[in-house]
Amino acid sequence: MTALNDGPLKGLVVFDLTRILAGPHCTQILGDLGAEVIKVERPSVGDDTRNFAPPYLPTASGEDSSESAYFAGTNRNKRSITLNLSDPKGQAIARQLIAKSDILTENFKTGTLAKYGLDYPTLSEEFPRLIYCSVTGFGHTGPYAERPAYDALIQAMGGVMSLTGEPKGEPMKVGVSIADLMSGMYAAVAVLAAVRHQQATGRGQHLDISMLDAHVAWLANQGMNYLATGENPERLGNQHPNIVPYQVMPSSDGYFVISVGNDPTFERFCKVAGAEALVADERFATAVARVRNREIVTEHLNEVTRQHPTDWWIERLEAEKVGCGRINGLDEVFNDPQVQAREMVIEMPHPSTEGRPAKLIASPLKLSETPVSYRRAPPTLGQHTEEVLGELLGLGSSEVSNLRDDGIV
């Protein structure tokens, strides 16, 4: 079964019950690293994100295919099978496949899988070496454990929306589903740690990953600012709470970002700007002073940067090793020579696109000895049902056909 697999996780089998984004993001990371991921979907329905469209992957003729771009973004390197877990026959097949697996991932609402005998306490008795990773909104303990959760809700409850947006504007969510994505990343890290333990001891464990926990964990310096002072950090728009200037700056023809993290860098910025006198001004001279005099510093520097166009600033600031950059649209991002040099877009043949390769965002993991691999395009619904059930359970075509007729697969 692992003949196609390359990467450091080659040989590991993941029984993947996740859907939407957080869980699939985790299992795509594992798949990219070589694990064999068996994605279990509801017959005739599939992962909810198959219907998060438009847009769809385009076909060779430029028409829409049947596959949503959203689903394709987090489901490569997986084999899709359909299985009705609410039916005892489906549950029995699931248990047979779990017996062949090293890792189970799921993001059902807390308590749901217990109804099917597929919860950790039940499965761990039969499969003591199984790593069982749960990704839920609030975890399996606490007063919110049984609540459903979505990315925007977690961004709101987790505090990041209170930190995002203009000072006098409304709270804003981040432009991508960061609560889902970070939960998926933490889940992948936890799985890798559990694999190490499994290899050393022969035993599995339950990984209880909460989206809210993950969100609180990456409040980082802003969370620490609150813990140190007991005061809620104020929204600062595009500014940094602890560094000035570290923000969007106006130019004569638009905007750019500048990151001045220390006093020597500020001196180099002033040299480029022809504003060396600011270094001697006590309000500007040190990093601490610039934060304490944020409004004055920002107002003055805005007047300075408005004197020249963005390209003028980028060229000269980069020459002086001052962190800066253009504010790119996604067209500029994917055409950026650095992004292209790092091969952050890949193309994979897909059965639904009439021969037109599907463009996908690549993994950012660059491993010199055990690189990630792109072995399977995002699957169509149930594409591998017969293949997996035949390969792992020895079922023939007629048996799978009967299961399909009975609504089991």
Phi, psi of 136 (to 5 degrees): -130, 175
User: What contacts 262, CB < 8 A, 6 or more positions away?
Assistant: 287
As a whole number, mean pLDDT of residues 163-173 equals 94
Q: Mean pLDDT over residues 366-385, rounded? A: 97
Q: Which residue has the tokens 């962190």?
A: 323
Q: Is the CB of residue 113 less than 8 Å from the CB of residue 119?
A: yes
pLDDT the model gives residue 6: 81
What end-to-end distance do the CA atoms of the chain give, in Å? 21
What pLDDT is stored for residue 403 in this prediction?
A: 98
Structure confidence by residue, pLDDT tens digits, 275-310 = 999 999 999 999 999 999 999 999 999 999 999 999
Give the model's pLDDT for residue 113: 97
For residue 377, the 8-state DSSP code is P
Angle between helices 397-405 and 385-393 (to 10 degrees): 120
* Alpha carbons 348 and 357: distance in angstroms, whole number: 5
Flag whether pLDDT at 5 surpasses 50: no
Strands, E, within 113-222: which ranges?
131-136, 206-210
Percent of the chain at pLDDT > 70 equals 99
Compute the average pLDDT of residues 355-371. 96
The mean per-residue pLDDT over the stretch 99-128 comes to: 97
Q: Do the strands 13-17 and 36-41 form a parallel or antiparallel pair, or are they unpaired?
A: parallel
Instruction: Read off the DSSP letter of residue 109.
Output: P
- Is the Cα dihedral 98, 68, 363, 372 positive or negative? positive
Q: Which residue has the tokens 């992004």?
A: 339
pLDDT score, position 1: 38
HSE-up of residue 232 (Cα within 13 Å, Cβ side): 9
| Res 359 pLDDT > 60 | yes
What is the average per-residue pLDDT within 126-151? Answer: 97
Residue 2: the pLDDT is 39
- Rounded to 5°, the CA angle 196-200-205 comes to 65
Q: How far apart are CA 307 and CA 284, in angstroms?
A: 20
Mean of all residue pLDDT scores within the chain: 96
Catalytic residues: 180
Q: Which among 72, 36, 68, 45 is positioned nearest to 55, based on CA atoms?
A: 68
Q: Is the pLDDT of residue 166 over 80?
A: yes
What are 362's two structure tokens? 């690549």
- Which residue ranges form the domains of the chain, and what is each CATH number? 13-218+339-405 (3.40.50.10540), 246-328 (3.30.1540.10)
Question: What pTM was estimated for this model as a whole?
Answer: 0.93
Averaged pLDDT, 167-175: 94
Indicate whether 358 pLDDT > 70: yes
Pick 376 or 5 by higher pLDDT: 376
Residue 148 has pLDDT above 70, yes or no: yes
Q: 94 is written with which tokens?
A: 């699931």
Q: What is the pLDDT of residues 199-250, one digit of tens each?
A: 999 999 999 999 999 999 999 999 999 999 999 999 999 999 999 999 999 9
Residue 371: which residues within 8 A CB-CB, separation 6 or more?
6, 7
pLDDT confidence tier of residue 3, bands split at 50, 70 and 90 = very low
Predicted confidence (pLDDT) per residue in 40-69, tens digit: 999 999 999 999 999 999 999 999 999 999
